[in-house]
Amino acid sequence: MTCILVLNAGSSSIKFAAFRTCVDDALELLQQGQLDGIGSAPRLQAHDAAGHSLIDRALDNRSVPDAAAAETLVNDWIATHLGATPDAVGHRVVHGGVDFSQPVRVDAAILDRLAALNPLAPLHQPFNLAPIRSLLQRQPQLPQVACFDTAFHHGHAPEIDLYALPQSLIAAGVRRYGFHGLSYEYIASRLPGVAPALARGRTVVAHLGNGASLCALQGGRSVDSTMGFSALEGLVMGTRPGNLDPGVVLYLAQEQGLDAGQISHLLYHDCGLKGLSGLSGDMRELLASDAPLARLALDVFAHRVAQSVAAMAASMGGLDGLVFTAGIGEHAPGARAAIVQRLGLFGARLDAVANAGRTGVLDIAAPDSRIALRVVPTNEELMIAQHTLGLLRS
């Protein structure tokens, strides 16, 4: 048996999952959990493969003041409760830049190259790399694999990924990369089994969560995505604005007197659904609210998604289906309905009864819908574990 540990570290949370190999190297979940609220109201939760709770405990903020303390606590808890020693650790790393188009085993030199990409994803990359660096110091013999959210989008046509900027800036790395690639790669691997026609055809996958994007998937490959240089571009998100006239940033600096740090905080933390509604960036709270601004935020969100579906279809020369995934995509029927309602151009028709289903793979298209409409749960942790096992075996 081989045991694979997966870590997905962010600024305020660490998600983890442990898998073991079974027949033909298929991976079986052992346990999964997260430590969130780091630095504010930390809480450690974990469950086994059957969904039974292993721990659900609020922690003293003084014991988990920062990401480094959280990483130590999570590793200690896993070591005590896993019942097996990990043979390798796989990590989600947001940015692989132009060089890393495949998962890679990390050593000190690779870690330095990945750290050089920190300016391209300042709110994600440093936190993704922190547990890798810590484990390299404590257990240098333990194989670690970096799996990139950008890798799945490598191979786009130049007209898809280039901004109309001077070549000197493009050479410096200012271009579109695309993100959520591990989620899209997992969906691409699932479609042949649940919707073979979509796997062969022109499909838009909507990864809708607190962070949100679309991917144009043609024959199982990414040909376009709404996210570009950073995780700010594209759709309206929980706390991020999505597409924004660059003149707004100039106005914030020149007229409002905001510095770079203040603008960054505003765009990453105070915009999107939260900014529009004045209530929350959580889709569940907005759907449950009858406040006019909550409805406005939902309308803007749905409009931007539908508008961007059309843009992705243009990149593929047509549209055969739309797949919803991630937190909102999988669990918010009201949001799915608001989006599909705006896709009459493609002959999209929703089956309201099927759409009311809240879990698992769903076919939510009405019989007269001209395009397929599906819900397919994503599993980024399993995708990372598969990549890690593949590199370990090779």
Residues 232 and 121 in one domain: no
Residues 139 and 204 in one domain: no
Residues 230 and 323 in one domain: yes
Residue among 311, 332, 321, 307 nearest 209 (CA):
332
Backbone angles phi, psi at 106, to 5 degrees: -100, 130
Judge whether residue 241 has pLDDT over 80.
yes
315: amino acid identity, one letter = S
Tokens of 80: 């005590």
Judge whether residue 387 has pLDDT over 90.
yes
Distance CA 283, CA 298 (A): 8
Q: Is residue 212 part of a domain?
A: yes
| Global model pTM greater than 0.85 | yes
67: amino acid identity, one letter = A
Distance CA 45, CA 15 (A): 10
- Quick check: helix, strand or coil at residue 115? helix
Torsion, Cα 370 375 376 378, to 10 degrees, reads 130
Q: Is residue 163 part of a domain?
A: no
Residues 13 and 124 in one domain: yes
What's residue 165's pLDDT?
97
Q: Is residue 188 part of a domain?
A: no
Residue among 170, 150, 91 nearest 126 (CA):
91
pLDDT in tens, 130-143: 999 989 998 999 99
Q: What is the CATH number of the domain that holds 76?
A: 3.30.420.40
**Boundary-marking domain end, from 124, 148, 172:** 148
Q: What is residue 350's DSSP assignment?
A: B
Task: Print the domain residue range for 11.
Answer: 3-148
pLDDT bin (cut points 50, 70, 90) of residue 61 is confident
- The bridge status of strand 144-148 relative to strand 104-105 is antiparallel
Residue among 115, 102, 107, 147 nearest 5 (CA):
147
Number of domains in the chain: 2
Q: What percentage of the chain has pLDDT greater than the value 70?
A: 100
- Quick check: helix, strand or coil at residue 365? strand
Distance CA 9, CA 138 (A): 18
Residues 134 and 21 in one domain: yes
- Quick check: helix, strand or coil at residue 208? strand
**Boundary-marking domain end, from 148, 180, 208:** 148
Buried b vs exposed e over 121-158: b needs ≥16 C-beta within 10 Å?
A: bebbbbbbbbbbbbbbeeeeeebbbbbbbbbbbbebee
Residues 12 and 116 in one domain: yes
Distance CA 332, CA 320 (A): 22
Tell me what the mean pLDDT of segment 353-360 comes to: 88
Residue 225 and residue 239 in contact, taking contact as beta carbons nearer than 8 Å: no
Distance CA 226, CA 215 (A): 7
pLDDT bin (cut points 50, 70, 90) of residue 199 is very high
Residues 206 and 345 in one domain: yes
Tell me what the mean pLDDT of segment 166-186 comes to: 96
Judge whether residue 147 has pLDDT over 90.
yes
- Look up 149 and say whether it is catalytic: yes
pLDDT bin (cut points 50, 70, 90) of residue 75 is confident
The whole-angstrom distance between residue 166's C-alpha and the CA centroid of its chain comes to 30
What's residue 11's pLDDT?
75
Helix (H) or strand (E) holding 69: helix 67-81
Q: Is residue 158 part of a domain?
A: no
Residues 127 and 268 in one domain: no
24, 107, 149, 290: which one is catalytic? 149
E strands within 115-157? Answer: 144-148
Neighbours of 72 (CB within 10 A): 14
Distance CA 180, CA 196 (A): 22
Q: Is residue 386 part of a domain?
A: no
Residues 208 and 280 in one domain: yes
Residue among 9, 13, 50, 44 nearest 29 (CA):
50
What's residue 293's pLDDT?
98
Q: Is residue 391 part of a domain?
A: no
Alpha-helical regions (H) of the chain: 67-81, 108-115, 125-138, 158-161, 167-171, 181-194, 196-200, 246-254, 260-269, 272-277, 283-288, 292-316, 326-331, 333-341, 352-355, 380-393
Residues 123 and 215 in one domain: no
Collect all residues with Cβ–Cβ distance below 8 Å to 143 and sequence separation of at least 6: 87, 88, 89, 105, 388, 391, 392
pLDDT in tens, 32-55: 999 988 877 889 999 988 999 999
pLDDT in tens, 8-22: 988 778 999 999 998
pLDDT bin (cut points 50, 70, 90) of residue 87 is very high
Q: Report how far apart the first and last C-alpha atoms of the chain are (Å, whole number).
A: 16
Q: What percentage of the chain has pLDDT greater than the value 90?
A: 83
Bridge partners of residue 183, in order along the sequence: none
Tell me what the mean pLDDT of segment 324-353 comes to: 97
Residues 23 and 143 in one domain: yes
Residues 46 and 137 in one domain: yes
Average pLDDT value for the chain: 94
